[in-house]
Every structure is written in structure tokens, then in C-alpha cells.
Amino acid sequence: MNVLYVSAEVAPYLKTGGLGDVSEALPLALAQRDIPVSIVTPHYRKVAEYFRENAVPVIRSHTIRVMLAGTYHEAQIHESRHPSDERIPVYTVDAPEYYDRPGIYTDGMRDYPDNAARFVFFAKAVIELIRILDADDSAPDIVHCSDWHTGLVSFFIKQVYASMRPFDRIAYIYAIHNLAYQGVFAPLDYPLFGADRELLTAGGLEHNGMLNFMKAGIVNADAVVTVSPTYAREILTDEFGFGLGGVIRTHRKKLIGILNGARYETWSPEHDRHLPARYSIKDMSGKAESRKRLCEIFNVTCRDDIAVVGIVGRLTWQKGFDLLIPIIGRLLQRNIVLIVLGQGEMKYETSFTAWQRMKPGAIGVKIEFNEPLAHLVEAGSDMFLMPSLFEPCGLNQIYSMRYGNVPVVRKTGGLADTVSDAGDDPAGGTGFVFADYSSDALYAAIERALGAFADKKIWDRIVMNGMKTDFSWARASAHYIACYKKALRKNER
């Protein structure tokens, strides 16, 4: 079984969030199970910078021609090897017209206006790569695509190339990391496809009069995977289906939820090169050094009786900040200092920085994406807030538990699947969970956490429970392999 993993972003070359982490970790976990796997991603400007800075050798390059709107565009596909496992070929699609830009999806303020063309091009480039691999007798058996950026890969193959070698024997897996972002474009982009309107409609690309890349991926895949079991159930509803609930219900027989894993080689205090001192469940002394360093960097008060509460991630509506901001004033009257690291919507950035000005020493804010600092927030915080409206899986709560950082989360998606409430399960609880999407419910959960924090015996038990959890990719990759085998059997019929 040979797997081609297709993603719009892959760490360590670049990432904007969890998709990049998963796109690194899952292929590595498959390779560790001796599954032949390769990766393809666009050759963005930041990828080119990574190649230069790390002297990544390009083994060979292939010239391809891709037609968009009746015109051929030339590009290169570069082959290299993954920096963590030389068994994994990495292919990057080098088309400067589309990918040599400062941003990945946006210019920093708004989406690139030609994003439809950029990812139609990428899908067609992946098809050309499969042809190249077939000529080398290494065509994939499984093509694993992730999120809206890659939804057109199976669409083009199933609607245009289904009867052609090698596409007729390949099974297509489509992974939904976040259904809220679907790749919706105006009908003006129809000419990009070089196909008649009837084909586009039959292939599932149209939705409510628009082009919907994610719908096309769902309809044409042999299996649809979400990144947690609870999220797989949630997206069947109208509330969390974001307009595609009916489509997903139609295809529910091929839907499965597989919980993401954590790459503990990178995200654990025993191995973390970003920390001032490493530590483990057997020797926690290094955590105090991380806590002290974190407070210094964010210029907040650091005392043993004050809980350091951390937040890392995209500052967007999804993440529940509408619940947190109204109660910050109340929270800062308690034994809490709040640390915020991330960037996103202007209204949240503005609110957090305004509170920092009003309460210096009680809240520290850095509006940036900073990977090393994110590791330090995980290690130096006592609690980690994730009050999300919805959360397909979430990785930070998993990282937090391994770092002895107790998560306070809303009961939704992967948060519900990974965090056990310490009140419901005093012996085995790993965090504090609330259900209602309200500021009062969040405040009550934080109050419960502060009550436990004041009792060292109780708190240490919760911390130890979290550090013992195992959400490794070894477990998750076994489920993916089973999914691949099932899709292949279905495809053979």
C-alpha cells in the first residue's frame, strides 16, 4: 500500500495551524509502520526560504503543464526528502505565479482574490505528479487529501480520469480538519475548470449557486475522515454542518472520526529544545524555570499562589473568545495572570491589547505567530484555556496535558474526546470541562480549576493524570491504515 499525502501546508516547511502539524506527523507515523508514503505541497515563498536556509537538496525536478481557462501554465515539481525521515519523498509544486507570495492564503488582511485558480492549479498538478509516479512504477494506491484546498483532486479524477490508468485503481481519502472553511467561490470562476456546467453539477462542485471545493471533496472521496469521533457526529447536524450537513448525511456511510495524535518527539517537555530546562513526570523541577521565564517575557507577575493561565492559537470567532473577553475583568480580580499568544481577527487583538494596557502585570499579550514561544507557553502555564464554540480536534489541549498544563475546555469535538473533567472523575480527571456556550459557564469552570489549584495534593494528581495520557500518532496511524484498507477493498468492488 503506497500513500500520497496531499496538503496545502506541511510542517516543518511551514504551517499556519494544526493542519501543518498533522501533515508532518501522520506521514512520519505511517513510515514508522513501514507504509510507503510521500507528500506533495505547494512550493510557497516560505517553503523556498526553508529549502535555502536548511540547504535542502533537490533530487530531481519535473516540468509539467497545467491548463487553466484554456491556457497552459508551466510549473516545476521538485523532489526532496523529509528532514525527519529520508524514506519519505516530498514533492513541491513550484509555480511562482501562484505561490511566490508573502502569505499562504492571504496578504495579511484578506484572502488572495485568485485562491480558486491557485488551488485548481494545485489539484491539477497533483494529477500530473501521479502520472509521473506511474511512469516510475510508483503510483499511489491511496491519495489522502486534506481540507478544501485539496477537494478538487478526487473531483477531477473521478469526473474526468476515472477510467484511465492509474487513476482507476486508486482510493481517495478526504480529511476534514475544519468544515467551517469550505473554499467557496463565485460562479465567475467556472472557466478555470475547462468543463461544461453539467459535469460540474453532477460532480458535486456546485452548492447553492457557488463553487464549493470541500463539497466536491466529500462527494468524490471513497472515505471521508474527520479529526475526532465527536466532530464526526457534530458535522451531521445543521448547526455544525455549516451548510453541508445535508451533504454529509447523504454520505454518512463513508464518514469516520479518527482522533488526531500528538508528535511527542516535538511536543513533550522531555525533548523540547525551546525550553530553558527540560522536565518530565519523574522530575518536574524544570517546569518552574519555564514558568519564570514565561512570566518575564510577557512581563506578568510570577508567584506560586497565582495561576498562570495561557492561550495560544488563532484569535478567531471559533475559539470562544466572545466568552472570555466579557469576563476578563472578573478573572483578573482572582489569583490569575493571563497570557495570550496569537493573531487573527482585529476585534480580538484589539480587546486583548487594551486589557494589557489597563492591567499591566496581570495580562501579557503578544500578537504574533511564534512557534518557540508557543512551546514555552505550554510549559510555563499552569492552566490552558480553550473555550471553543466548536473544535474539530484541537492539539493544544493534548500538548498541554503532556506539559503538566491543565486544560479548561468546552465540551465539543476533540476537546470532549480528550479531556476528562476532574469533578466528574476525581481519580482520573485531566482538566475542567464545561458544556454551555456562555461566559458564566466558562467562569464557573475556571473557578473550579482555581479551587483545585489552591490544593496542591489535588492539583498534582490532575497534572500527573494529564502527563500520563497517550495520544500518540502510533495509535492514530493504525486507525488510518485500517481506513485505507477498507477504502481499497471498496474501490476494488
Say what the alpha-carbon torsion angle 38, 40, 43, 46 is, to the nearest 10 degrees: -70
What beta strand segments (E) does 8-94 contain? 37-42, 60-68, 71-82, 85-94
Is 142 in contact with 173 (CB distance < 8 Å)?
A: yes
Q: 241 burial class (0-12, 13-18, 19+ CB within 10 angstroms)?
A: middle
Domain that holds residue 213: 3-261+474-492
How many domains does one find in the chain? Answer: 2
Cα distance between residue 331 and residue 408, in whole Å: 14
Q: Phi, psi at residue 50, to the nearest 5°?
A: -60, -45
The whole-number average pLDDT for the span 321-350 is 96
Residue 81 has a pLDDT of: 98
Q: Are residues 183 and 305 in the same domain?
A: no
Separation in Å, CA 360 to CA 180, 329, 337, 374, 383: 35, 13, 10, 21, 20
Q: DSSP code of 56?
A: P
User: What does pLDDT average to over the chain?
Assistant: 95
Q: Phi, psi at residue 245, to the nearest 5°?
A: -55, -40
Residue 162 has a pLDDT of: 85
Q: Are residues 479 and 424 in the same domain?
A: no
- Res. 196: pLDDT tops 80: no
- Res. 493: pLDDT tops 70: no
Q: Are residues 298 and 363 in the same domain?
A: yes
Q: Are residues 244 and 347 in the same domain?
A: no
Is 295 in contact with 430 (CB distance < 8 Å)?
A: no
Q: Which amino acid is at 167?
A: F
pLDDT digits (tens, 9 = 90+) for 452-477: 999 999 999 999 999 999 999 999 99
Q: Are residues 257 and 360 in the same domain?
A: no
- Res. 199: pLDDT tops 80: no
Residue 204 pLDDT class (50, 70, 90 cuts): confident
pLDDT digits (tens, 9 = 90+) for 95-142: 999 999 999 999 878 999 999 999 999 999 999 999 999 999 999 999
Cα Rg for the chain, rounded, in angstroms? Answer: 23
Cis peptide before 12 (omega within 30 of 0): yes
Q: Are residues 235 and 345 in the same domain?
A: no
Separation in Å, CA 181 to CA 5, 122, 151, 241, 279: 20, 18, 12, 11, 38
pLDDT digits (tens, 9 = 90+) for 145-165: 999 999 999 999 998 888 899
Residue 166 has a pLDDT of: 93
- The candidate with the shortest Cα–Cα distance to 343, out of 324, 366, 364, 326, is 366
The whole-number average pLDDT for the span 53-69 is 95
Tell me whether residue 273 is in a domain. Answer: no
- Res. 345: pLDDT tops 90: yes
- Res. 253: pLDDT tops 90: yes
* Whole-structure pTM value: 0.92
pLDDT digits (tens, 9 = 90+) for 358-417: 999 999 999 998 999 999 999 999 999 999 999 999 999 999 999 999 999 999 999 999
Cα distance between residue 145 and residue 152, in whole Å: 9
CATH number for the domain including 230?
3.40.50.2000
Residue 200 has a pLDDT of: 73
Q: Are residues 134 and 160 in the same domain?
A: yes
The whole-number average pLDDT for the span 220-245 is 96
Residue for cell digits 464545561? 434
The whole-number average pLDDT for the span 344-367 is 96
Q: Are residues 83 and 134 in the same domain?
A: yes
Residue 17 has a pLDDT of: 83
Q: Are residues 74 and 205 in the same domain?
A: yes
Q: Are residues 464 and 482 in the same domain?
A: no
Residue 490 pLDDT class (50, 70, 90 cuts): confident
